Amino acid sequence: MAEISVHCPHGHSEKVTKRGKTDRGKPRYSCNHESCSINTFILDYSYQGHLLEVKIKIIDMALNGSGIRDTARVLKVSQTTVIKEIKKRVVSQFC
């Protein structure tokens, strides 16, 4: 049986253990690094709105003047996802 080395996408640590499976049967992992802020993660998300790259693109498009509907259509995510990500960034800037 072949082993796959799994790295935490947030902390880039190799201290990762299996944490069961999702409802769809995908493996869930847990990062055991002390400085990592994320508890569990999945390597292959079904919904693209969970990916860090998509979240960064949402913020970039908002800063360049793209509307919510346009951003959602281009990135193929929900308008609600776009609004939530923009609100997270605005709140974190003022706190």
Whole-structure pTM over 0.85, yes or no? Answer: no
Check pLDDT > 90 for residue 62: yes
Residue 66 is encoded by which pair of tokens?
A: 């793209």
Structure tokens that stand for 65 in this block:
């003047």
Task: Give the start-to-end residue ranges of the domains of the chain.
Answer: 8-45, 48-94
List b or e across 12-23, with b for residues whose CB sees 16 or more CB atoms inside 10 angstroms: eeeebeeeeeee
Helical spans, DSSP H, in the chain? 52-63, 68-75, 79-94
Average pLDDT, the chain: 84
**Vertex 89, ends 87 and 92: CA angle to 5°?**
105
Examine the pLDDT at 1 and tell me if it is beyond 60.
Answer: no
Alpha carbons 5 and 73: distance in angstroms, whole number: 35
